[in-house]
Amino acid sequence: MTSRDDTAAAGPGHPAPGLHVPVLLAEVLTALAPKAGGRYLDGTFGAGGYARAILEAAPDATLLALDRDPTAIAGGADLVAAMAGRLTLSQARFGKLAEEAERFGMAPLDGVVLDIGVSSMQIDQAERGFSFRFDGPLDMRMSGAGQSAADLINEAEEGLLANIFYHYGEERRSRAVARAVVEARRKAPLTTTKQLADLVASIVWAEPGGPHAATRVFQALRIAVNDELGELVSALHAAEAVLAPGGRLVVVTFHSLEDRIVKQFLTERSGRAPAGSRHAPVVDVARPTFSLVSRGPVAASEAEMRINSRSRSAKLRAAERNAAPAREPEPDLVALAGIPAPQPRRRA
Ligand SMILES: C[S@@+](CC[C@H](N)C(=O)[O-])C[C@H]1O[C@@H](n2cnc3c(N)ncnc32)[C@H](O)[C@@H]1O
């Protein structure tokens, strides 16, 4: 799996800790094409890099920015003041973006942008528990509420843990790691990132100079704790429902699971789904609701990759909404993208 490198330290290609450098910013603006007076929604406000750039690029445009992390929303207060009524912040999940746009009188929208994943601020704060680089509580909740990584690690059944590590982290030693977790927690609960990282490193071999042994397990846990794939699926459908004809959807992802979901959705919604067998019964083909802005994904330039290692795994996909009615939501989008839902193992 290609993914954001959480092991990065400050230095060439690694911005200083805590500083979030927006990824693919120029490419996002090109794909979104914000226009004067337009209404936009940024579902992942973070440090406000995209939000600021969109408002600066489009005179008199307004923007509603969401983030599920209350600290990100609090950190945006200065930008809200500087934008003098053009920027509104709301602590909310982007899976609810249609409701939020309605609530703030912003629908229909001229553009939706999503920059999925965690920010540098979140990774670099040890107490948030996202990174194995620092010792902190095993938390990983972006919103600070709900089930934490420690809850999951200490309570989930062994088979479920193994499936989470395998399906969301593509960790080949998933079963051995899950077994070790269950054995360790019998003695005492696992409560810190270091405990888990050391345990994984005792089982998973890491190539010298390559990603840390615990990279895939940590990513898998973060995805599960925050229901990241479910959120993405909801957001894609919500964008379809709330974009005006000509409005654009721009999504930046950092690992292959997310990119596969976005690709599957946009391929299907733009009428590019592969043709079925000519012997199959004729079915009603729903009208496309989007057209692709670019055929394949857009990646970062060599220059950006040199300055910011996080951009190496970034992929941008964009599409333009047409006037066709929104389609029925596709409940199995994650499965259609080839990602099985982790289930507890069946007992014989
Ligand atoms: C990569 S950062 C975004 C950075 C931003 N584009 C910038 O330029 O500063 C991702 C942000 O999205 C937020 N986030 C992730 N999943 C979310 C969700 N389902 N709903 C709302 N916010 C989410 C995270 O809390 C984080 O602050």
* 186-221 per-position pLDDT tens digit: 999 999 999 999 999 999 999 998 899 999 999 999
Instruction: Please identify, by atom number, the ligand 1 atom nearest to the C-alpha of residue 66.
Output: 21
What's 144's domain CATH number? 1.10.150.170
The whole-number pLDDT of residue 273 equals 64
Angstrom distance (rounded) from CA 340 to CA 102: 33
* 22-37 per-position pLDDT tens digit: 999 999 999 999 999 9
Angstrom distance (rounded) from CA 333 to CA 277: 21
The whole-number pLDDT of residue 343 equals 82
Cα 297 to ligand 1 centroid, rounded to whole Å: 20
Q: Which residue has the higher pLDDT, 1 or 225?
A: 225
Residue that has been written with the tokens 């489009």 in this structure: 58
Cα 45 to ligand 1 centroid, rounded to whole Å: 5
Quick one: 245 and 107 in the same domain? Answer: yes
The whole-number pLDDT of residue 331 equals 83
Q: Is residue 126 part of a domain?
A: no
Given a cut of 70, is residue 9 above it in pLDDT? no
The whole-number pLDDT of residue 18 equals 59
Q: Is residue 346 part of a domain?
A: no
87-91: strand order across its sheet: 87-91, 62-67, 39-42, 109-115, 243-253, 315-321, 290-292
Quick one: 151 and 244 in the same domain? Answer: no
Given a cut of 50, is residue 149 above it in pLDDT? yes
Instruction: Please identify, by atom number, the ligand 1 atom nearest to the C-alpha of residue 47.
Output: 9
The whole-number pLDDT of residue 230 equals 96
Quick one: 56 and 94 in the same domain? Answer: yes
Quick one: 111 and 141 in the same domain? Answer: no
Residue 108: asked if its preceding bond is cis (omega within 30°), the reply is yes
Angstrom distance (rounded) from CA 64 to CA 104: 8
* 111-127 per-position pLDDT tens digit: 999 999 899 899 999 99
Quick one: 105 and 239 in the same domain? Answer: yes
* 302-334 per-position pLDDT tens digit: 999 999 988 999 999 999 999 999 999 998 999
Long-range contacts from 208-216, C-beta under 8 angstroms, 24+ separation? 211/5, 211/7, 212/6, 212/7, 212/132, 212/133, 214/132, 215/3, 215/5, 215/6, 215/7, 215/132, 216/1, 216/165, 216/169, 216/170, 216/171
Quick one: 116 and 77 in the same domain? Answer: yes
Q: Is residue 76 part of a domain?
A: yes
Which of the listed residues 24, 142, 143, 237 should we mutate to test ligand 1's pocket, taking the one with most ligand atoms within 8 A of CB? 142
Q: Is residue 186 part of a domain?
A: yes
Given a cut of 70, is residue 265 above it in pLDDT? yes
Quick one: 85 and 187 in the same domain? Answer: no
* 65-86 per-position pLDDT tens digit: 999 999 999 999 999 999 999 9
Q: Is residue 345 part of a domain?
A: no
Instruction: Please identify, by atom number, the ligand 1 atom nearest to the C-alpha of residue 22.
Output: 8
Quick one: 160 and 188 in the same domain? Answer: yes
Confidence grade of residue 4 (pLDDT, cut at 50, 70, 90): very low
Average pLDDT of the chain, as a whole number: 91
**From the CB of residue 88, how many other CB atoms can be counted at a distance below 10 Å?**
18
Quick one: 115 and 9 in the same domain? Answer: yes
Beta partners for residue 111, in sequence order: 40, 248
Quick one: 116 and 55 in the same domain? Answer: yes
Confidence grade of residue 348 (pLDDT, cut at 50, 70, 90): very low
What's 255's domain CATH number? 3.40.50.150
Residue with CA at minimum distance from ligand 1 atom 8:
49
The whole-number pLDDT of residue 1 equals 45
Domain of 243 in residue numbering reads as 5-120+229-274+283-323
Residues with CB under 6 A from ligand 1: 20, 22, 43-44, 46-50, 66-69, 72, 93-95, 115, 117-119, 142, 231
Quick one: 100 and 245 in the same domain? Answer: yes
The whole-number pLDDT of residue 221 equals 97
Residue 339 has φ and ψ, to the nearest 5°, of: -115, 105
Q: Is residue 42 part of a domain?
A: yes
Q: Is residue 335 part of a domain?
A: no
Cα 143 to ligand 1 centroid, rounded to whole Å: 11
Number of domains in the chain: 2
Domain boundary, last residue among 205, 227, 249: 227
The whole-number pLDDT of residue 199 equals 98
The whole-number pLDDT of residue 16 equals 60
Which of the listed residues 44, 66, 123 should we mutate to test ligand 1's pocket, taking the one with most ligand atoms within 8 A of CB? 44
Confidence grade of residue 8 (pLDDT, cut at 50, 70, 90): very low
Given a cut of 50, is residue 11 above it in pLDDT? no
* Model pTM score: 0.92
Quick one: 106 and 243 in the same domain? Answer: yes
Q: Is residue 332 part of a domain?
A: no
